Chains A and B, each alone.
Chain A
Amino acid sequence: MKHRIFAAAAGLCAAAAFSSAVSAKTLVYCSEGSPEGFNPSLYTSGTTFDASSRTIFNKLVEFERGSTKIVPGLAESWQASKDGLRYTFRLRRGVKFHTTKNFTPSRDFNADDVLYSFNRQGNPEHPYHKVSGGTYEYYQGMSMPALIKSIVKIDDYTVQFVLNEQEAPFIANMAMDFASIMSAEHADKMMAAGMPEKADLEPVGTGPFQLVQYQKDAVIRFKAHPDYWGGKAAIDTLIFAITPDASVRYQKLKAGECHVVPYPNPADIGAMKADSDINMLEQEGLNVGYLAFNVEKKPFDDKRVRQALNMAINKDTIIEAVFQGAGKAAKNPIPPTIWSYNESTKDYPYDPAKAKALLAEAGVSGLKTNIWAMPVQRPYNPNAKRMAEIIQADWAKVGVEAEIVTFEWGEYLKRSKNGEHDTVLLGWTGDNGDPDNFLYVLLGCDAAKDGTNRARWCHEPFNDLLIQAKRTSDIGARTKLYEQAQLVFKEEAPWVTVAHSVVFMAVRKEVSDYRIDPFGGHIFYGVDLK
């Protein structure tokens, strides 16, 4: 009896706390992990970006919420020079930085902040370059050091980026998380105080939310930025309750301890859909899972063999068994959410008889090969081992004997990059919504040299189309080039394009206007509570 009274009293207290808090609109997001830090240029994980670049900071240009379309951010407008080597950004005026307990900004956002945010990453002599052990992997990974020649401040509200070569996807790169704009004044002040790393630990940005508190591995607390240039957020307090286990997240959602939950267990999706308190949102992910043939090894140098092995695989079985319905068969190497996706591409039909005939035509019989299966779960491939087994069984039907091989993840990436495989399962999640970010990065000739192109396939006609598309900033012209490239790709068949995943987000009914971010981020500006 005593216990019951105690539990009831405790419940009342918690309810009282909840009601006083909800009057000030608090949204709780049960996030899947802890951020590595709060300066997005230093890190590469989506979990970190959710808590930094997608809440605290803005970029010069932004992705429109829920799409891959580029819209003005801290730059009101931008213009490319005719030769495509200079991009001039006109900056927004009257943008306020956050005021924190240790910093009160004395000025609005201007060109100095842009210079600081980029030069810190690109210039090894910059006083902040080495702070917080900065290695700026995303900036490096997107080849920005080779691309950006200089950044020029024309006046307080105009900045020009000078490039070494034409690169149409440059604007899309400017909307990426590493391109977040931070306060130069705050950084200077922390440097003068002898605590430069505080600029990263106590972030000051212009974004819709500002960091209030981070309790490691437990809770991140944000409050709405009262002077946000886009208008104050509808929710006053945003809390990330860090909850690594998916089953526990689901229980928290059911119990009303959180409003939004990412990455549900596939097994729970049915029950979540049936729950009247929960809205299940879904959207195709910005990713592709593929099987690459190593074209440097025989007989995969013969496109007939690659085509035959494409035809020998029944993708429907894979979607059913591996994705449990949370996937869609892929016919192009880019997902349908990206512009220039070629609807007219015809995928290889499942046709073992024709596959056998093609193999015979290529003079291949009794082929023994391997299928590399990743040891980890990825959105584009939730169970690579199972996928490999299905492919193995399908290929056996056309007389191809395949052995399944796997390694520890880091080792897997390294060895497959070195081309040790015959065929390898892998995938890609887009960074900036530009087709170039899939096609050139995964299938271009440069990528074949450095190994990111796991098929090691360098096909001049295909590569030329991609280079041409890089050199024009006209979207219409680029679209045509990429559409054509996708047809060439399909004909040459360096990959089996397996699937695009479907992303699920579970939100409680009282949450309104939550939109799934195609980049896999979790964005709360624009979201409201009923």
Chain B
Amino acid sequence: MIRFFITRFGMVVPTFFGVTVIAFFLIRLIPGDPIELLVGERGIDPERHAYLLKELGYDRPLWEQYLGFISNLLQGDFGTSIVSREPVLSEFLTLFPATIELSLMAIIFALAIGLPVGILAAVRRGTVFDHTVMGISLTGYSMPIFWWGLLLIILFSGTLGWTPVSGRISVFFYIEPITGFMLIDSLLIDEPGAFSSALRHLILPTIVLGTIPLAVIARQTRSAMLEVLGEDYIRTAHAKGLGTGRIIGLHALRNALIPVITTIGLQTGVLLAGAILTETIFAWPGVGNWLIGSIYRRDYPSVQGGILLIACIVIFVNLFVDLAYGLVNPRIRHSGRS
């Protein structure tokens, strides 16, 4: 197990450096000068332009800037936003709980519906239910997030008035962030209605962000279950006279879950990418919304630091997923020995 852990962890280091290269250079490949963008039509005289470039350290060769970036990173410094002048890490940490809260809700939503539906579709393979579920999930998977979000807002918030339009909680509740998780903070302030307001604000963004993972999980669960259900040991279990519920719940599901866990791990990246759009539509103050704004403003440090931090999270989630396999499937953790 320890060897397994070390091997997996050893792969994280080169991946991390690969990501620093991409995070640093990608935004710099986009044409556009942050100072020109800042001053807009007004323009700026070349002397002052050169002075500001120097102040920001953008007058040095790119490779030198990259080395500076890496050396700062190793000291835990992710840079300072050139727009707000705040440290990138502290901006990220302020906004990140909102993204985690939304992503967790979305993945819970996707699992809560995707798993049972996938299992049922596999068990009732070829039935109308199966075809319907697979058809809907294909539609869900191809859904453009922006359109989907707006459609739900117009229907449920605009026309029916069931859910709030956007934000994390009604603006009439004065909440000082304690944990940064609105569901928890709204309970802590002990004001009637705060928690339910926070919950209601989560409904639509959760559905929008959870739609694609839900579709993927449902399909993945179905195909994994189908594969397992055709195995000899399932036939044996049937032959022993075990009940269907026990066979599916105990024997089949546990084995079918391995590829599903992989999918959940891979979905972290999809979730964070989806969060960027979802947050923009629902005015959800998370890192996605912030990153988009930073790209528009060519706020290099925020974009570089933000992408790097998000990439690190994806790397670590995948690492944990790898480790979780080991726990679920002993063949994987012992494979190193053979």
Q: How far is the CA of A408 from the CA of B34 in the complex (A)?
A: 12
Task: Out of A9, A245, A413, name the residue touching B43 (CB < 8 Å).
Answer: A413
How close is B291's CB to chain A, nearest CB, in angstroms? 11
- CB distance B281 to A408 under 8 Å? no
Q: Which residues of B are found within 8 Å of A244, using beta-carbon distances?
A: 280, 283, 289, 293
Q: Which residues of B are found within 8 Å of A367, using beta-carbon distances?
A: none
Q: Which residues of A are found within 8 Å of B282, using beta-carbon distances?
A: 248
Does A410 reach chain B (CB closer than 8 Å)?
yes
Q: Which residue of A lies closest to B191 (CB)?
A: A17
- CB distance B174 to A213 under 8 Å? yes
- CB distance A13 to B38 under 8 Å? no
Task: Out of A10, A36, A44, name the residue touching B199 (CB < 8 Å).
Answer: A10
Q: How far is the CA of A218 from the CA of B52 in the complex (A)?
A: 30
Among the listed stretches B12-20, B131-139, B165-173, B217-225, which one makes contact with chain A, having 4 or more residues with CB under 8 Å of it?
B165-173
Q: How far is the CA of A21 from the CA of B309 in the complex (A)?
A: 39
- CB distance B170 to A137 under 8 Å? no
Q: Which residue of B lies closest to A429 (CB)?
A: B41
A16-B193, A410-B36 are known contacts. Are A21 and B172 too (CB-CB below 8 A)? Answer: yes
- CB distance A243 to B170 under 8 Å? no
Does A141 reach chain B (CB closer than 8 Å)?
yes
Q: Which residues of B are found within 8 Å of A429, using beta-carbon distances?
A: 41
How close is B159's CB to chain A, nearest CB, in angstroms? 9
Inter-chain contact total with CB atoms closer than 8 Å:
164
Q: Which residues of A are found within 8 Å of B91, using beta-carbon distances?
A: 216
Q: How far is the CA of A219 from the CA of B150 in the complex (A)?
A: 21
Does B126 reach chain A (CB closer than 8 Å)?
no
- CB distance B280 to A36 under 8 Å? no
How close is A457's CB to chain B, nearest CB, in angstroms? 16
Q: How far is the CA of A217 from the CA of B99 in the complex (A)?
A: 12
- CB distance A217 to B289 under 8 Å? yes
Q: Which residue of B lies closest to A258 (CB)?
A: B171
Q: Which residues of B are found within 8 Å of A255, using beta-carbon distances?
A: 157-158, 161, 164-165
Q: How far is the CA of A18 from the CA of B280 in the complex (A)?
A: 25
Does A37 reach chain B (CB closer than 8 Å)?
yes
Does B67 reach chain A (CB closer than 8 Å)?
no
Task: Out of B40, B95, B200, name the residue touching A217 (CB < 8 Å).
Answer: B95
Q: Which residues of B are found within 8 Å of A215, using beta-carbon distances?
A: 177, 285
Q: Which residues of A are found within 8 Å of B153, using beta-carbon distances?
A: 247-248, 251
Q: Which residues of B are found within 8 Å of A9, using beta-carbon distances?
A: 196
How close is A396's CB to chain B, nearest CB, in angstroms? 29
- CB distance A37 to B42 under 8 Å? no
Q: Which residues of A are found within 8 Å of B193, using beta-carbon distances?
A: 10, 13-14, 16-17
Q: Which of B34, B84, B171 has the most CB of A within 10 A?
A: B171
- CB distance A409 to B157 under 8 Å? no
How close is B16's CB to chain A, nearest CB, in angstroms? 27
Q: Which residues of B are found within 8 Å of A475, using beta-carbon distances?
A: none
- CB distance A216 to B285 under 8 Å? yes
Among the listed stretches A26-34, A86-94, A188-196, A337-345, which one makes contact with chain B, having 4 or more residues with CB under 8 Å of it?
A26-34
Does B85 reach chain A (CB closer than 8 Å)?
yes
How close is A239's CB to chain B, nearest CB, in angstroms? 5
Does B45 reach chain A (CB closer than 8 Å)?
yes
Q: How far is the CA of A472 from the CA of B213 in the complex (A)?
A: 68
Q: Which residue of A lies closest to B290 (CB)?
A: A217
Task: Out of A26, A36, A257, name the residue touching B164 (CB < 8 Å).
Answer: A257
Does B83 reach chain A (CB closer than 8 Å)?
yes
Task: Out of B48, B199, B285, name the residue touching A242 (CB < 8 Å).
Answer: B285
Q: Which residues of B are found within 8 Å of A413, using beta-carbon distances?
A: 36, 40-41, 43
Q: How far is the CA of A255 from the CA of B280 in the complex (A)?
A: 19
Q: Which residues of B are found within 8 Å of A239, using beta-carbon distances?
A: 171
Task: Out of A17, A36, A42, A414, name the residue touching B170 (CB < 8 Å).
Answer: A17
Task: Out of A7, A133, A137, A450, name the residue touching B39 (CB < 8 Å).
Answer: A137
Q: How far is the CA of A33 from the CA of B290 in the complex (A)?
A: 10
How close is B317's CB to chain A, nearest CB, in angstroms? 24
Does B192 reach chain A (CB closer than 8 Å)?
yes
Q: Which residue of A lies closest to B170 (CB)?
A: A14
Does B232 reach chain A (CB closer than 8 Å)?
no
Q: Which of B32, B41, B82, B162 has the most CB of A within 10 A?
A: B41
Q: Which residues of A are found within 8 Å of B196, using beta-carbon distances?
A: 6, 9-10, 13-14
Does A83 reach chain B (CB closer than 8 Å)?
no
Q: How far is the CA of A14 from the CA of B44 in the complex (A)?
A: 49
Q: Which residue of B lies closest to A413 (CB)?
A: B36
Within 8 A of A (CB), among B260-302: 280-283, 285-286, 289-290, 293, 298
Does A452 reach chain B (CB closer than 8 Å)?
yes
Q: How far is the CA of A28 from the CA of B173 in the complex (A)?
A: 13
Q: Which of A34, A133, A417, A452 has the most CB of B within 10 A?
A: A133
Does B37 reach chain A (CB closer than 8 Å)?
yes
Q: Which residues of B are found within 8 Å of A427, using beta-carbon distances?
A: 41
Q: How far is the CA of A241 from the CA of B33 in the complex (A)?
A: 30
Q: Which residue of B lies closest to A447 (CB)?
A: B43
Q: Which residues of A are found within 8 Å of B94, using beta-carbon distances?
A: 216
Task: Out of A132, A140, A141, A409, name the residue touching B32 (CB < 8 Å).
Answer: A409
How close is B179's CB to chain A, nearest CB, in angstroms? 14
Does B76 reach chain A (CB closer than 8 Å)?
no
- CB distance A248 to B281 under 8 Å? yes
- CB distance B172 to A450 under 8 Å? no
A216-B95, A255-B164 are known contacts. Are A410 and B32 too (CB-CB below 8 A)? Answer: yes
Q: Which residues of A are found within 8 Å of B83, using beta-carbon distances?
A: 36
Q: Which of B32, B34, B37, B42 has the most CB of A within 10 A?
A: B42
Q: How far is the CA of A14 from the CA of B194 in the complex (A)?
A: 8
- CB distance B37 to A426 under 8 Å? no
Does A451 reach chain B (CB closer than 8 Å)?
yes
- CB distance B285 to A26 under 8 Å? no
Q: Which residues of B are found within 8 Å of A140, using beta-carbon distances?
A: 44, 48
Q: Which residues of B are found within 8 Å of A297, using beta-carbon distances?
A: none
Q: Which residue of A lies closest to B196 (CB)?
A: A10
A26-B172, A241-B171, A426-B41 are known contacts. Are A218 and B283 too (CB-CB below 8 A)? Answer: yes
Q: Which residues of A are found within 8 Å of B80, using beta-carbon distances?
A: 133
Q: Which residue of B lies closest to A219 (CB)?
A: B171
Does B154 reach chain A (CB closer than 8 Å)?
yes
How close is B292's CB to chain A, nearest CB, in angstroms? 8
A241-B283, A244-B283, A410-B33 are known contacts. Are A36 and B161 too (CB-CB below 8 A)? Answer: no
Q: Which residue of B lies closest to A31 (CB)?
A: B283
How close is A147's CB to chain B, nearest CB, in angstroms? 15
Task: Out of A6, A17, A218, name the residue touching B172 (CB < 8 Å).
Answer: A17
Q: How far is the CA of A417 from the CA of B36 in the complex (A)?
A: 11
**Additional A-B contact list (8), CB under 8 Å, known A219-B171, A242-B285:** A16-B192, A28-B171, A137-B44, A213-B176, A218-B167, A413-B36, A413-B40, A450-B43
A sample of 5 cross-chain residue pairs with beta-carbon separation below 8 angstroms, ordered by A number, consists of A133-B82, A197-B85, A247-B150, A257-B164, A257-B171
Q: B-contacting residues of A (Cβ < 8 Å)? A: 6-7, 9-10, 13-14, 16-18, 21, 26, 28, 33-34, 36-37, 42, 44, 132-133, 135, 137, 140-141, 197, 213, 215-219, 221, 239, 241-245, 247-248, 251-252, 254-255, 257, 407-411, 413-414, 417, 426-429, 450-452
Q: A-contacting residues of B (Cβ < 8 Å)? A: 30-34, 36-45, 48, 52, 55, 80, 82-85, 91, 94-95, 150, 153-154, 157-158, 161-162, 164-168, 170-174, 176-177, 191-194, 196-197, 199-200, 280-283, 285-286, 289-290, 293, 298
The 9 closest A-B pairs by CB, nearest first: A13-B193, A217-B285, A410-B32, A410-B36, A218-B285, A10-B196, A408-B31, A21-B172, A133-B85
